[in-house]
């Protein structure tokens, strides 16, 4: 099977997954009732999601600038923001490809190693996971009632979340100060690689480690830590604000803790290889709101549509703007996609 055939097969599976989950999300929902629910929403609250989504992605670009500082400093924040938006826009169409497009675009425009830039993207994912885990533990410690749908005595498990938040913070710190030891370990286990490939792997590993040079940025640890938490805080706020757009959600008593629970569930939906989490996001949130909080399926789907589509459109509009403004071509995406296959 050729690379082109594999890509076509993989992307076809992604779209099939999206259609299947969209079918499950809309199955049993009367379109007339869904339309009434969407019309009845307070779109002044929904409008707040636009600046929140823009701000969240700008903070990502700001943090990326700090992670790239050991490779190049100063670096254009505009190029980084464009890279973030184009990358996520590509992910909305071709899952996972955006993660390779981002370093390709920024590396090309800034004249730096794309492999090293990709290393910083991996660091981003690690920081996102640890900071998200920390926020979840802290919020559930502060709002134990959010666990009512899961456990009978939420107060009894509060200490576990306190321990979890401390553990996440410690791992976050170790990433900055012990990353070099991890790469030394990798270098030691290269013995199983054939000699003819070993030198090439060592060169790639060396460039990749440059992306992890954040370990040398001890003076920036505080700001990177803050920005990582801020990104997820904004994510949770994006889930929380739309509660006020739907009367039934306000009356149900959905609180900030519930928004974090929904954020966790929606994050799982994003892991599945559907383009832009289309379908998976809608069905996961719909089921969660129905089963955990007793929200009717029409309102739950309306909420999922509003939160997903606003973020989706913001990314697509900005991504398309920068794609054409920077005179990018399909060949750039093809080159980035080829890097993914390697």
pLDDT in tens, 143-157: 666 666 556 666 676
pLDDT band at residue 341, thresholds of 50, 70 and 90?
very low
Residue 8 confidence (pLDDT) above 70: yes
pLDDT in tens, 89-121: 998 988 778 888 888 888 888 888 887 788 788
Max mean pLDDT among 80-84, 115-119, 166-170, 182-186 falls in 80-84
**pLDDT attached to residue 334:** 59
**pLDDT attached to residue 271:** 82
Look at 8-17, 213-222, 285-294 and tell me which has the smallest mean pLDDT.
Answer: 213-222
Can you read off the two tokens belonging to residue 184?
């030394």
Residue 213 confidence (pLDDT) above 70: no
pLDDT in tens, 281-322: 999 999 889 988 899 999 999 999 999 999 999 999 999 999
**Cα 267-117-206 angle, rounded to 5 deg:** 115
Max mean pLDDT among 144-148, 196-200, 323-327, 333-337 falls in 323-327
**pLDDT attached to residue 64:** 92
User: How many angstroms separate the CA atoms of 130 and 169, rounded?
Assistant: 8
Determine whether 253 is exposed, middle or buried from the number of CB atoms within 10 Å of its CB (0-12, 13-18, 19+).
exposed
User: How many angstroms separate the CA atoms of 115 and 273, rounded?
Assistant: 24
Residue 31 confidence (pLDDT) above 70: yes
Q: Of 62 and 150, which is predicted with more confidence?
A: 62
Three-state SS sequence of the chain: CCHHHHHHHHHHHHHHHHHHHHHHHHCCCCHHHHHHHHHCCCHHHHHCHHHHHHHHHHHHHHHHHHHHCCCCCCCCHHHHHHHHHHHHHHHCCCCCCHHHHHHHHHHHHHCCCHHHHHHHHHHHHHHHHHHHHHHHHHHHHHCHHHHCCCCCCHHHHHHHHHHHHHHHHHHHHHHHHCHHHHHHHHHHHHHHCCHHHHHHHHHHHHHHHHHCHHHHCHHHHHHHHHHHHHHHHHHHHHHHHHHHHCHHHHHCCCCHHHHHHHHHHHHHHHHCCCHHHCCHHHHHHHHHHHHHHCCCHHHHHHHHHHHHHHHHHHHHHHHHHHHHHCCCCHHHHHHHHHHHHC
**pLDDT attached to residue 58:** 97
**pLDDT attached to residue 180:** 63
Average pLDDT, stretch 74-93? 92
Domain ranges of the chain: 10-341
Residue 336 confidence (pLDDT) above 60: no
Q: Of 342 and 245, which is predicted with more confidence?
A: 245
pTM of the model: 0.81
Residue 47 confidence (pLDDT) above 80: yes
**pLDDT attached to residue 146:** 61
Average pLDDT, stretch 4-18? 82
pLDDT in tens, 241-263: 999 999 999 888 888 888 888 98
pLDDT band at residue 178, thresholds of 50, 70 and 90?
low
Q: What is the mean pLDDT of the chain?
A: 82
């Amino acid at each position: 099977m050729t690379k082109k055939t594999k890509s076509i097969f993989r992307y076809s599976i992604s779209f099939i997954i999206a259609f299947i989950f969209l079918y499950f999300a809309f199955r049993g929902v009367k379109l007339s009732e869904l339309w009434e629910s969407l019309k009845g929403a307070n779109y002044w609250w929904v409008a707040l999601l636009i600046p929140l989504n823009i701000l969240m992605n700008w903070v990502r670009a700001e943090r990326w600038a700090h992670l790239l500082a050991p490779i190049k400093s100063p670096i254009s924040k505009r190029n980084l923001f464009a890279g973030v938006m184009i990358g996520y826009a590509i992910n909305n169409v071709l899952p996972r490809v955006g993660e390779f497009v981002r370093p390709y675009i920024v590396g090309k425009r800034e004249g730096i190693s794309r492999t090293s830039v990709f290393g910083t993207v991996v660091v981003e994912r690690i920081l996102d996971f640890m900071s998200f885990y920390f926020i979840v533990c802290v919020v559930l410690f502060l709002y134990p009632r959010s666990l009512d749908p899961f456990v009978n005595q939420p107060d009894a498990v509060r200490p576990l979340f306190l321990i979890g938040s401390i553990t996440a913070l410690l791992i976050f710190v170790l990433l900055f100060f012990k990353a070099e030891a991890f790469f030394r370990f990798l270098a030691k286990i290269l013995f199983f690689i054939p000699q003819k490939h070993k030198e090439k792997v060592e060169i790639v590993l060396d460039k990749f480690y440059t992306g992890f040079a954040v370990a040398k940025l001890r003076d920036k640890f505080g700001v990177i830590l803050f920005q990582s938490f801020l990104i997820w805080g904004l994510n949770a706020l994006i889930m929380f604000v739309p509660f006020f757009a739907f009367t039934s959600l306000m009356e149900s008593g959905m609180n900030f803790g519930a928004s974090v629970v929904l954020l966790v569930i929606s994050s799982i939906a994003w892991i599945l290889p559907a383009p832009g989490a289309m379908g998976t996001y809608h069905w996961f949130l719909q089921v969660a709101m129905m089963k955990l909080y007793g929200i009717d399926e029409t309102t739950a789907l309306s909420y999922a549509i509003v939160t997903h589509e606003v973020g989706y459109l913001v990314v697509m509009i900005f991504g398309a703007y920068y794609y054409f403004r920077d005179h990018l071509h399909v060949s750039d995406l093809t080159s980035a996609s080829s890097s993914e296959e390697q």
